[in-house]
Homo-oligomer: A and B are copies of this chain.
Amino acid sequence: MATMAAQREALRRLRERLATISDLSAAGAVLAWDQQTFMPGGGIKQRAEQLATLSRLSHEMLVSVETGRLLDAAGEPEPGTVEHALLRVARREYERATRVPADLVADLSRAASVGQQAWERARAASDWEGLAPYLKELLDLQRRTAEHLGYEDHPYDALLDIYEPGARKARLEGVFAKLKAALVPMTKRLPLEENRSKPLFGDFEEARQEEFGRTVITAFGYDWAHGRQDRAAHPFCISLGGPADVRITTRFDPGWLSPALFATFHEAGHAIYEQGVDPAHARTPLAGGASMGLHESQSRLWENLVGRSRAFWEHYYPELQRTFPEALGGVDPEDFYRAVNEAKPSPIRVDADELTYNLHILIRFELEVAMLEGALSVEELPPAWNEKTEEYLGLVPGSAATGVLQDVHWAAGLFGYFPTYALGNVLSVQLFERAVEEQTEIPQEIRSGEFGTLLGWLREKVHRHGKRYDPDDLVERATGRPLEPEPYLRYLREKFGELYALG
């Protein structure tokens, strides 16, 4: 009995400590949000110091002897309970944070910050040599980090696990091989001359774009009492401490409808996930999405499965036409549907359509694995990039800026992150199809601009759990199956088979 009381007391004190750590992270999130939305330019250096202090304090508190002692003293709650899950996640975070020496953490943080600046300059000048030395250092630091974190089969697993707990390179390769086998041939058969996206270019007043986007995401279920939308150079979603305040940003192009529109759906998808996490998990390690892949599954579900579907536009296209009568009054619904679903190989990942997007991820995955295990040197990266792009997408990037330099991830020290985008795509369909199987009224509701049943299913099966279940567990519970690419491939074959007569 004395032991149980001591364990309960340790757990109580651990929760307090974790709440403080969570508050420090939340404060960092507010500062980061402000920096990207409203902060005056002159505040940048001072803000960097403030963010560094907050992150140092929360890291120190996490890796402290006291946290370790409380984690040990909290015992082993009954499996299946929230406490059990909380300790699982807290111990994993503690382990991960304590295994990497403080010096290496600091070196990596500095190198990532410097690397991002170098990347901005290098990309602007399309100057690969401007980035290469930074990338070399980052790769070396990431290799060392992986060794400290530990792994069973491959160093890549150590990094991948940060973003996607439980995921392993070997399993990914199995999934990705199936994607590749199906998608490369389909992509090669796409017509290159067609230009279906023309209706999306024209005169689209920003304020009306914003208003229409808000109308849609409000219908999706984005809760404005617990969020807001602002403008930023890059669209993002950020939780400011829990489901009570989850904000999104968008960037508008008055001459091109789709970027802001689909970015709004996409970021709202992330935000709806965060807003739906059980508030009881707030200020604990169970707060937030289960993994980057599951997060991406929610953004892609609303962006693509809903937002690029015929059912959705059956309801919303007339409203969009009323919003932009001059630009769209003469465009018929089918042409608009084909415009937002144009599939065409592009060198740029962020411009890629549903069909070709994952090929961009495969390229990056294979290259970063090869770099990490030493099979590919940083010097060999640019030609390897171009070769793979030609092999998968049938084109060669015109410049380093539109090729190997296009993404910030590696320059920011993010190795093992790219696959989560592909997992998100795969999971978005697996989850959506299961929701429709269980709630067959969903397609008809979408055709009526109603999303309550779909949202309810996602809330129940995915959102509310936060990090209570690891991704594999959560997917199995939600869909009755492990993660599998077949529903996703079936969906793409059907949709693009019809759109491009690829069947």
Interface residues of chain A, those whose CB is within 8 Å of chain B, are 19-20, 23-24, 26-28, 30-31, 34, 38-43, 45-47, 49-50, 53-54, 57, 223-228, 230, 240-242, 244-245, 247, 282-283
Seed contacts A39-B245, A42-B244; 7 additional CB < 8 Å A-B pairs: A20-B53, A24-B53, A27-B28, A30-B50, A38-B38, A45-B244, A47-B245
Q: Which residue of B lies closest to A24 (CB)?
A: B53
Among the interface residues A39, A40, A228, which one has the most CB atoms of the partner chain B within 10 A?
Answer: A40
Asked if B23 and A27 sit within 8 Å, CB to CB, the answer is no
Asked if B245 and A46 sit within 8 Å, CB to CB, the answer is yes
By a CB distance below 8 angstroms, the chain B residues around A224 are: 40
Among the interface residues A28, A50, A54, A241, which one has the most CB atoms of the partner chain B within 10 A?
Answer: A50
In the complex, what's the smallest C-beta–C-beta distance from A492 to chain B, in angstroms? 37
Asked if B50 and A23 sit within 8 Å, CB to CB, the answer is yes
Q: Which residue of B lies closest to A275 (CB)?
A: B42
Quickly give the copy total for this chain.
2
In the complex, what's the smallest C-beta–C-beta distance from A278 to chain B, in angstroms? 14
In the complex, what's the smallest C-beta–C-beta distance from A230 to chain B, in angstroms? 8
In whole angstroms, how far apart are the Cα atoms of A225 and B223 in the complex? 33
Asked if A30 and B34 sit within 8 Å, CB to CB, the answer is yes
By a CB distance below 8 angstroms, the chain B residues around A20 are: 53, 57
By a CB distance below 8 angstroms, the chain B residues around A228 are: 38, 40
By a CB distance below 8 angstroms, the chain B residues around A244 are: 42-43, 45-46
By a CB distance below 8 angstroms, the chain B residues around A227 are: 40
In whole angstroms, how far apart are the Cα atoms of A57 and B43 in the complex? 24
In the complex, what's the smallest C-beta–C-beta distance from A268 to chain B, in angstroms? 14
In whole angstroms, how far apart are the Cα atoms of A41 and B226 in the complex? 7
By a CB distance below 8 angstroms, the chain B residues around A31 are: 27, 30
Q: Which residue of B lies closest to A20 (CB)?
A: B53
Q: Which residue of B lies closest to A49 (CB)?
A: B23
In whole angstroms, how far apart are the Cα atoms of A21 and B26 in the complex? 17
A-B contact pairs, 10 of them (CB 8 A): A19-B49, A23-B54, A26-B46, A27-B53, A38-B38, A38-B228, A40-B224, A43-B245, A46-B240, A57-B57
Asked if A245 and B42 sit within 8 Å, CB to CB, the answer is yes
By a CB distance below 8 angstroms, the chain B residues around A226 are: 40, 42-43
Cβ-closest 8 pairs across A and B: A43-B245, A23-B53, A42-B226, A42-B225, A46-B244, A27-B27, A23-B50, A43-B244
By a CB distance below 8 angstroms, the chain B residues around A53 are: 19-20, 23-24, 27
In the complex, what's the smallest C-beta–C-beta distance from A18 to chain B, in angstroms? 12
Tell me whether A27 and B42 are in contact in the complex, defined as CB-CB below 8 angstroms, given that A34-B34, A57-B20, A57-B57 are known contacts.
no
In whole angstroms, how far apart are the Cα atoms of A323 and B228 in the complex? 33
By a CB distance below 8 angstroms, the chain B residues around A38 are: 38, 228, 230
In whole angstroms, how far apart are the Cα atoms of A45 and B245 in the complex? 10
In whole angstroms, how far apart are the Cα atoms of A222 and B26 in the complex? 31
Q: Which residue of B lies closest to A240 (CB)?
A: B43
In whole angstroms, how far apart are the Cα atoms of A240 and B31 in the complex? 10
Tell me whether A27 and B54 are in contact in the complex, defined as CB-CB below 8 angstroms, given that A38-B228, A283-B49 are known contacts.
yes
Tell me whether A46 and B225 are in contact in the complex, defined as CB-CB below 8 angstroms, given that A34-B34, A53-B20 are known contacts.
no
Asked if B34 and A50 sit within 8 Å, CB to CB, the answer is no
In the complex, what's the smallest C-beta–C-beta distance from A59 to chain B, in angstroms? 13
Q: Which residue of B lies closest to A54 (CB)?
A: B27
In the complex, what's the smallest C-beta–C-beta distance from A281 to chain B, in angstroms? 13
Residue A225 contacts which of B26, B27, B40, B283 (CB distance < 8 angstroms)? B40
In whole angstroms, how far apart are the Cα atoms of A241 and B42 in the complex? 12
In the complex, what's the smallest C-beta–C-beta distance from A316 to chain B, in angstroms? 25
